[in-house]
Structure 1
Amino acid sequence: MIDPYEMLNVEREADEAAIKAAYRKLAKSEHPDAGGDADRFAKMSACYELLKDPVRRKVYDDTGYDPQLAEPTDLKGLMVLESLVNDMILDEREPGSFDPVASLRRKLTDDILKARFHILELERHRGRVRKHIDRLGKRPEADVLGSMLRARTQSITDAIRASETQIQAIERAYSMLDGYSYEMEHVNDDEIELPKAAE
């Protein structure tokens, strides 16, 4: 994620006038017509657009993310977390009676394991299809069966790539939880009701 404050060399408390002045100063040397790098200038302009928009700036300040400045892997990680946050909100248990951050981490870990197992299964299927292709005698005319098997191999390869991309998104979501903790309600041992023994 690009830090717009760092990119424009302004303080986080900078007002609109200071941000505008910093942008104009940098634009003089960074503009492609002045010999600057076009990609860097585009990023700098995107940062300026973010900081001059009070709503986007507040969202960035609160979350550290902006969709237009975020890397694709960050956005995918955010999408993974978004669905899990909805589950957390809809959980009927009393806040403080369970650790939702630990639950999020467990869910993400489970999803990574499932995706890796799925990849192993797909690789096994792809290997079997390739062995069939190796053993299949080719017809002199159109190789319909061979074409179908090769297409199936490509479909499996595409599915493996999609699963690998999903794992990267889940891992990114997991890393976004770094540093979070959750304060649990403290329950005294004498407040816990133990089941009565049968007489």
Structure 2
Amino acid sequence: MHGYRGLQFPWASGPRHGEEVIRLSAPHLVFEQHISLSVANAFAQYVHATGDEDYLRETAWPVLEGVANWLVSRAIKTERGYEIKQVIGVAEQTNPVDNNAYVNMAATRVLQEAAAFACRLKRRDADRWNEIARGMYLPVDNDRGIILNHDRYSPQDQGVAASTPEALAGLFPFNYSVEGPTERGTI
């Protein structure tokens, strides 16, 4: 888990045992951390869709709690809020970036889901998770009213990763809530 607490899922796992199948010496492997957020979201959405309280307590809760605790150890408190630095988002950039829009939006939603389920199950940590979710930094170009893919993003960037709208992946399927004008500008 690269020194972090909580629960982190492998970027690419094997069907037999579920462990990471990409060689550990692969460049950038340690920065491929977005999958944990997708996994946690899938567990939360299953509970919402089915209303299965047993599944929530026995299966989904350990995943949501573990990923939320991983996010607590992964997010860094700065003057801008909570930031997630040195990560590769779903566009699979060549180099890690700070504050990838998808990662920060998905992290916010996972923390909110975990906090809501913690309250429902009368578990601890909801306040801490909500605090980090509320303070999660998101790179926004206020002049143009759009969410940027990451801190260093420029519309002049080239290539597939540069043209992938990572913020859209945070809006859908994570249902990240953003003000109307910024949402419209980003879409």
- Is the TM value for this pair above 0.5? no
Give me the TM-score of the superposition, normalised by structure 2: 0.30
Please state which structure has a larger fraction of its residues in helix: 1
Higher relative contact order (CA 8 A, sep 6+): 1
Please state which structure has a larger fraction of its residues in strand: 2
